[in-house]
Amino acid sequence: MAVPKRRTSKSKKRMRRTHHRAPAATLAPCPKCGEMRIPHRVCPNCGYYKGERRIEIED
């Protein structure tokens, strides 16, 4: 198995990791209320999913 000849420098390690970051959250408008919400999740604004009320929203 290939073995690294040199320890990766702090600089090289950091340069490589400049691309490490969480992707921006994907949001899509709720078909019921139009509020932006995470796809495939119950809408936190109106509580609907697949055209049905799944959770009660209190304000």
Give the interface with Zn ion as residue ranges (CB under 5 A).
30, 32-33, 35, 43, 45-46
CB of residue 32 to Zn ion, shortest distance in Å: 4
* Between 33 and 38, CB nearer to Zn ion: 33
Question: What are the start-end ranges of the E strands in the chain?
Answer: 28-29, 36-37, 48-49, 52-53
* Between 12 and 35, CB nearer to Zn ion: 35
CB of residue 49 to Zn ion, shortest distance in Å: 9
Cα 24 from Cα 42, distance rounded (Å): 19
> Which secondary structure element, helix H or strand E, spans residue 36, and what is its range?
strand 36-37
